[in-house]
Amino acid sequence: MRTQNILLCGYLLIFNLVGGSVIAKTNTVLSNQFKAALLCKAEPIDARDSGITTQLNKQKITVKKLEKDGLIDLEYRFTKPLQIANTSVSVVRYQGDSGSYFFAIAKGDMARFAKSIGAKPVPVQLKETLSWGDNINQYYQYTTDVTADNPYPDTILIGRDKTSKQGEFYFGCLRFDY
């Protein structure tokens, strides 16, 4: 009986992960879901679904829908900041049209964070493709190799812009539709 329960739990876990719209019922698991999505290891958490918004609100995460013209434009605010690789995250944004960017506004040392995940400075020839806003000092890390079949792999993008506060930067998963 124990083996059957373990198998059933495993199947349910896989089903929930594949479904992409199930949100965890605990803060610890939920923070891991946000971290995985920010580092391109899971799909973005899409609170355009009212069931997901309800679950997030129960975990004291407020969702603000900023969308215009049917575009994805969501903001998640955490009562208790997430701790991700020596950074503190209180706000996550999800923006998209053709492609998307699921990113955190983090407090910490950007260069240290970039180094901790193996990101490299964005080279001149990629600045147009990998630019986000009015940026300065961007880093990137592809999650898979660039190939003929996948010329724009999911990319972790890290940077600051001219309006960033001291010690603040953004990082997240940039996904291309092509």
DSSP characters over 71-136: -EEEEEEEEEEEEETTEEEEEEEEEEESEEEEEEEEES-HHHHHHHTT-EEPPGGGTTTT--SSEE
For residue 8, tell me if it sits in a domain.
no
In this prediction, residue 120 carries a pLDDT of 94
In this prediction, residue 11 carries a pLDDT of 33
Lowest mean per-residue pLDDT among 38-52, 91-105, 116-130: 116-130
Domain that holds residue 95: 21-175
Report phi then psi at 59, rounded to 5.
-95, 15
Residues 4-51 have pLDDT tens digits of 333 333 333 333 333 444 555 555 678 899 999 999 999 999 998 889
Q: pTM for the whole thing?
A: 0.80
In this prediction, residue 106 carries a pLDDT of 96
Give, as one character, the DSSP assignment of residue 45.
P
Lowest mean per-residue pLDDT among 61-70, 98-107, 133-142: 133-142
For residue 14, tell me if it sits in a domain.
no
For residue 111, tell me if it sits in a domain.
yes
Cβ burial 81-109 (10 Å sphere, 16+ → b, else e): bbebbebebebbbbbbeeebbbbbbbbbe
In this prediction, residue 9 carries a pLDDT of 38
For the chain, what is the domain count?
Answer: 1
- Distance, CA of 139 to CA of 4 (rounded, Å): 46
What is the rounded average pLDDT of the residues 154-160?
Answer: 94
Please say if the pLDDT value at position 172 is more than 50: yes
Residues 51-73 have pLDDT tens digits of 999 999 999 999 999 876 778 99
User: Do 46 and 72 contact (CB within 8 A), yes or no?
Assistant: yes
Q: Which amino acid is present at 96?
A: G
In this prediction, residue 158 carries a pLDDT of 94
For residue 110, tell me if it sits in a domain.
yes
For residue 2, tell me if it sits in a domain.
no
For residue 164, tell me if it sits in a domain.
yes
Q: HSE of 119 in the Cβ direction (CA atoms, 13 Å)?
A: 23
For residue 137, tell me if it sits in a domain.
yes
In this prediction, residue 104 carries a pLDDT of 96
Mean pLDDT of the chain: 82
For residue 9, tell me if it sits in a domain.
no
